[in-house]
Amino acid sequence: MVLMILRGLFILFCGATATLYAIKAFTDPEQGVWPIMFTLIGGVGFGGLIILIDSLTPKKKLSAVSGVFLGLIVGMLATFAMSKLMGFVYVIFPEIPMELREGIIVFVGVVCVFTAITMIMQTKDDFRFVIPYVEFSKQIRGTRPMLLDTSAIIDGRILDIVDTQVAQGPMIAPKFVIDELHTISDSADKLKRARGRRGLEIVAKLQNHNMVDLTIDDTETEGQNVDQKLIVLAQQTNARLVTTDFNLAKVAELRDVDVININVLADAMRPVVLPGEPLNVKVAKAGESPGQGVGYLEDGTMVVIEQGHGVIGKQVEVVVTSVLQTSVGRMIFARLGGADDIPTADGSRTAPPKSQSSPRPRPDQHRSRNP
């Protein structure tokens, strides 16, 4: 409403100003009122044109406006300096007509202003101008915000992290991420639809959480897909990108964007398991290699047990042989321990459970006992 009033006052101001100057200029009674009317219509039309251009660009960025303004100033200063230099040329070549001199100055001015504006607009994100209260790149004071990816929201563990009061800084959920969640929630696939609705529920819970400040950012950023837009927005806001997408995390690191990978964070919080330590695990299924069994710890870590195929479905004691740690998870390799290397909880030693399959006979058992 206030904007509409300002636009109306601007048009009235343009018309009134044009009329006043027309009254002073056209003082001959024989000319009539038509020149004044044409001037009034021209002033109102010019004001309407400015309002039309303003309405066609509703989403303006302060960095773009500041860049154009500074470009005009730099271009005008450069034009003034070039006009002084051209004065020496006119002294050497006085035969240059005055009309041509003025045209050259106008042409040089247009070139300088255009070059200054385009140069500043193309390089405004690479360096900062030390001007009070003017920033070409948005600065975040205090704690750096966390920029939430679609995968991190759907994953849901970000809500558990907030509940632990470890993450209390501001969080940003871009509008294009919310739009992607809405698209997923309307999918024909039942699983995708459930994941999208879960993500929207997580966003609603984060908005109502008293330990974190979640902001829905409507900023339009460059990029062909959501991942590219997230990286650009993280660079503009100096935010840390929160995701579970391994590929997105790697691309963001290449673009010098700080990444919080929830999978890596979860791995860091798990208890440290060293080779030689005993574990109690239930063998759930057969492994990919012959004779292997696979079990899982309470936190979901996979345990690959050598020679564990014969004890599938049983709770057994194993000894850790090695641990494979990656950014997408952790895998533990173990073997069935013997009586000498598997301590129980009370300090005694127990032998490993026997396999349900019959043991193979030794080569010497096939020999005849007769001489």
Looking at residue 288, which CATH number applies to its domain?
Answer: 2.40.50.140
Domain end position, chosen among 241, 268, 295: 268
354 in any annotated domain: no
In tens, the pLDDT along 100-112 reads: 777 778 788 888 8
Instruction: In whole angstroms, give the CA distance from residue 264 to residue 133.
Output: 39
- Number of structural domains (the chain) is 3
The answer to whether position 292 is within a domain reads yes
260 and 154 in one domain?
A: yes
More confident of the two residues 165 and 366? 165
> What would the mean pLDDT of 142-156 be, rounded to a whole number?
86
Residue 117 predicted with pLDDT over 60: yes
Q: Does position 174 have pLDDT exceeding 60, yes or no?
A: yes
Average pLDDT across the chain, whole number: 77
pTM across the whole model: 0.46
Indicate the residue type of 279: L
pLDDT digits (tens, 9 = 90+) for 15-46: 888 788 777 777 666 666 777 788 888 888 88
**Within a domain: residue 132?**
no
Are 56 and 156 in the same domain?
no
Three-state secondary-structure class, residue 75: helix
Q: In the chain, which ranges are E strands? A: 146-148, 171-174, 214-217, 240-243, 259-261, 278-286, 293-296, 302-306, 315-326, 329-336
Q: What is the pLDDT at residue 200?
A: 92
Is 369 within a domain? no
pLDDT exceeds 60 at position 224? yes
- Domain span at residue 332 reads 272-336
Q: Are residues 287 and 229 in the same domain?
A: no
In a domain, residue 343? The reply is: no
Give the residue-averaged pLDDT of 262-272: 78
Q: Which of 259, 258, 265 is nearest to 243 (CA)?
A: 259
Residues 58 and 152 in one domain: no
Pair (312, 252) in one structural domain: no
Cα distance between residue 22 and residue 31, in whole Å: 12
Instruction: Say what the alpha-carbon torsion angle 41, 45, 46, 52 is, to the nearest 10 degrees.
Output: 170
Q: Note whether 263 and 281 are same-domain residues.
A: no
168, 240: one domain: yes
- 9 plus 116 within the same structural domain: yes
Window from 88-92, 120-124, 229-233 with minimum mean pLDDT? 120-124
